[in-house]
Structures are given as structure tokens and as C-alpha cells.
């Protein structure tokens, strides 16, 4: 029960006088209570999200088709139903992504698949997680997750794939292990897998795990930008374009999700973007979690709102009129996001 995905919520909840009842200590299942009101949570997923809505957003093919039908930009997709059609899809798009339909954290995802042999291996990998697999057009762009609470844009992070920096002595395998040891001391789930997918990415770069990169040379060892495959995240709330925020707001409304993370791949130079994922159960965790959690709790228990919460608003001018002197004074005390 006690991981950063629960404690970021439970600590903030207690700080505003909410009660926390653990329903199963072996699972992240708990209830937040205020007087007679109670909301059941599984990490940040609450009973306010209907089961059908959860499925529609969480199932990668269902979400992709739903978004496409409503005119949102999504990569082309094909649900895997045999190799003949899969090879045709690959020939059509040249570079594709293969992923299981209902997983998370980059599990079973193969990016930039280019040959029929890679396709077979990628489908086999995805199928170790579940039977339903999608093939998706591989698009290029910066990975930006926009987070909305109650339909309102509250934070964004830029996610980057795992990379290591050479020291002229250690091999890539040693650098990865070293980075994993450091990362795992903080969070065991934040590790770069030393698997076929990492080796495939290195082969793309003409490298092998036994190679020794030059001192200061940065090598991107993974293509997925997930935290759970060793990727990193930086808060970019103020830097997201108004257009992307508006699109995210329309997506949140379409799905009717009270808390949602919408993942875009943004190709700014070509003024293009695609939505690759809609997360109804996103992690509320660092680096943006302390901001998001206050909006999350405000939304669940409006009566528990602390006066100070207003300072979290990332766009005071837009959302609430121009910031008052008091807003500015209070906001100084908080780290910028």
C-alpha cells in the first residue's frame, strides 16, 4: 500500500483533515473520508470513474478509434489479427510501434519496428503480456503529458527515454547497471531493462552492450519514454502551447474523466502532434504530483479546499482573471512548476 503513488495522495489528504482508511494493505486500495462523504481509490483511480469509461480510455485500440472518430489526431492503428495484414501495415507505414492493448509503463512495447523479423519478435513480446495487441504508426515528437483535473489543465511533464553518459571506461552494460543501482535506491521501478528491446535500440545506433562510450558521450538506450523503462520527467506546465491545452480539455470532456493524463507526441518544427495515450489511472507522483494532488483533492472534496490551494493554479491570468497581489505573494512561497 505504501508507495509514492499512494503516499503523495494520503499525505496531502491528511494535511487537509481528510481521513484515510486502508481497505487492503497488500494493494493500493484505500478510502478518503470527510464526514459522511467517502471516495474509494486505487492509487489515483477513484470510483468516480465508471467501468465503461475506464475501459474506453485504457484500451489502446478503443481509445485510438474513439479519438479518431471525434476528429482528434492519432497515429494510424491496426489491431493485430494475423501476420499477413500486419506485414501490409508495416509496408504501408515503414516504421511502426507494437504494443499490448491494456498494459502500462512501456511493458511489452516495441518502438520503431522496421522489418518483418522485428515485427514477429515484437508481436511475440507484446503477447507475453496479453492476447490483444495493436500495431501503430511510429511518429516522432517530444513526449508531453498534460494532466487535467475536473476538465481543467493543471500540470504537464515532458518525458524523455532512458540515456546513459559515457566515462570512457565503462561499457554500456556497466553504465546501465550503475544508473539502475542509483535509481533503484530511490524507486525500484525506475530501471532501464537490460533486455532485447534495449539491445535492439543499441543495434539501431550501431552499438552493443559491450561498447565503451567516450567520456561525456550520451547514449539513448531505450525508445520508450516511460519512467518504468528508466525514462525521466521534467515539469513543463507553463511551456505547453495554448492549442495543446485546448485539445487536452476537449479530450478530457469527451471521455468524461475527472482526472486524466493525455499523452501527446509533439513535433513542434512541423507543427504536428498526435495523441498516443489517454490515462484514466495516471500516477500522482513526483515531480508534478504535489501540485496535481491538491487539485485532485479539491475536486473530490470541494469542502476541504485549503485557501492556500489557489496558489497551485498554473495559469492564474487565464483561469481566474489576472493574479491579485495576494496571489502573487502567496505564490512566491511555492516552487515554480
Per-residue binder mask for ligand ADP (CB under 6 A), 211-250, x = binder: -------------xxx------------------------
Q: What are phi and psi of 323, to 5 degrees?
A: -65, 135
Place of cell 525514462: 231
Q: Which is nearer to Mg ion, 277 or 288 (CB)?
A: 277
Q: Which of 12, 32, 67, 138 binds ligand ADP (CB under 6 A)?
A: 138
104 lines the binding site for ligand ADP (CB under 6 A):
yes
Give residues 264-303 in contact with ligand ADP (rule: CB under 6 A). Answer: 265, 276-277
Distance of CA 118 to CAs 94, 98, 102, 196, 207, Å?
A: 12, 10, 21, 11, 17
- The listed partner (Mg ion, ligand ADP, none) that binds 316, CB under 5 to 8 Å by sort, is none
CB of 217 vs Mg ion, minimal distance in Å: 28
Environment class of residue 255 by beta-carbon count within 10 Å: exposed (0-12), middle (13-18) or buried (19+)? buried
Q: How far apart are CA 76 and CA 96, in angstroms?
A: 9
- The listed partner (ligand ADP, Mg ion, none) that binds 107, CB under 5 to 8 Å by sort, is ligand ADP
Q: Which is nearer to ligand ADP, 48 or 228 (CB)?
A: 228
Q: Which cell numbers in the block locate residue 307? A: 485557501
Q: Measuring CA to CA, which residue among 124, 140, 139, 136 is closest to residue 89?
A: 136
* Sequence-separated (6 or more) residues with CB below 8 Å from residue 64: 74, 75, 77, 134, 136
Per-residue binder mask for Mg ion (CB under 5 A), 237-276, x = binder: ----------------------------------------
61 lines the binding site for ligand ADP (CB under 6 A):
no
Which region among 15-23, 33-41, 103-111, 119-127 touches ligand ADP (by CB under 6 A)?
A: 103-111
105 lines the binding site for ligand ADP (CB under 6 A):
yes
Tell me the DSSP string of 136-167. Answer: EE----EEEEEEEETTEEEEEEEEE--EEE--
- The listed partner (Mg ion, ligand ADP, none) that binds 139, CB under 5 to 8 Å by sort, is ligand ADP
Distance of CA 264 to CAs 73, 128, 228, Å?
A: 10, 26, 18
- The listed partner (ligand ADP, Mg ion, none) that binds 280, CB under 5 to 8 Å by sort, is none
Give residues 106-125 in contact with ligand ADP (rule: CB under 6 A). Answer: 106-107, 109, 111
Q: Which cell numbers in the block locate residue 102? A: 491494456
State the pairing for strand pair 142-149/133-137.
unpaired
Q: How far apart are CA 28 and CA 276, in angstroms?
A: 26
Q: Which of 136, 197, 277, 299 binds Mg ion (CB under 5 A)?
A: 277
Q: Which of 3, 7, 53, 103 binds ligand ADP (CB under 6 A)?
A: 103
58 lines the binding site for ligand ADP (CB under 6 A):
no
The contact set with ligand ADP (CB under 6 A) reads 75, 97, 99, 103-107, 109, 111, 136-139, 143, 224-226, 263, 265, 276-277
Amino acid at each position: 500500500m505504501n508507495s509514492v503513488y499512494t503516499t503523495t495522495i494520503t499525505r496531502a489528504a491528511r494535511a487537509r483533515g481528510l481521513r484515510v482508511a486502508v481497505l487492503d494493505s497488500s494493494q493500493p486500495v484505500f478510502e478518503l473520508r470527510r464526514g459522511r462523504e467517502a471516495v474509494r481509490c486505487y492509487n489515483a483511480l477513484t470510483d468516480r470513474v465508471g467501468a465503461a469509461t475506464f475501459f474506453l480510455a485504457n484500451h489502446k485500440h478503443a481509445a485510438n478509434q474513439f479519438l479518431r472518430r471525434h476528429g482528434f489526431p492519432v497515429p494510424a492503428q491496426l489491431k493485430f489479427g494475423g501476420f499477413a495484414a500486419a506485414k501490409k501495415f508495416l509496408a504501408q507505414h515503414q516504421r511502426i510501434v507494437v504494443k499490448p492493448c491494456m498494459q502500462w509503463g512501456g511493458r511489452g512495447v516495441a518502438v520503431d519496428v522496421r522489418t518483418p523479423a522485428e515485427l514477429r519478435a515484437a508481436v511475440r513480446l507484446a503477447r507475453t503480456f496479453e492476447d490483444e495487441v495493436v500495431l501503430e504508426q511510429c511518429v516522432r515528437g517530444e513526449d508531453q503529458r498534460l494532466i487535467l483535473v475536473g476538465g481543467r489543465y493543471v500540470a504537464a511533464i515532458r518525458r524523455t527515454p532512458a540515456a546513459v553518459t559515457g566515462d570512457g571506461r565503462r561499457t554500456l552494460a556497466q553504465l546501465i547497471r550503475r544508473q539502475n543501482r542509483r535509481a533503484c535506491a530511490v524507486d525500484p521501478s525506475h530501471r532501464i531493462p537490460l533486455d532485447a528491446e534495449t539491445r535492439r535500440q543499441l543495434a539501431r545506433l550501431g552499438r552493443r552492450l559491450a561498447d565503451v562510450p567516450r567520456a561525456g558521450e550520451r547514449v539513448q538506450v531505450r525508445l520508450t519514454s516511460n519512467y518504468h523503462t528508466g525514462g525521466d520527467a521534467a515539469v513543463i506546465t507553463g511551456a505547453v502551447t495554448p492549442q495543446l491545452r485546448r485539445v487536452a480539455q476537449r479530450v478530457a470532456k469527451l471521455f468524461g474523466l475527472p482526472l486524466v493524463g493525455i499523452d501527446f507526441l509533439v513535433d513542434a518544427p512541423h507543427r504536428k502532434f498526435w495523441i498516443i495515450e489517454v490515462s484514466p489511472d495516471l500516477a500522482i507522483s513526483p515531480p508534478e504530483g504535489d501540485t496535481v494532488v491538491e487539485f485532485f483533492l479539491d475536486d473530490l472534496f470541494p469542502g476541504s479546499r485549503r485557501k492556500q490551494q489557489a496558489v497551485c493554479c498554473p495559469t492564474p491570468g487565464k483561469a481566474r482573471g489576472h493574479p491579485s497581489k495576494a496571489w502573487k505573494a502567496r505564490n512566491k512561497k511555492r516552487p515554480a512548476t
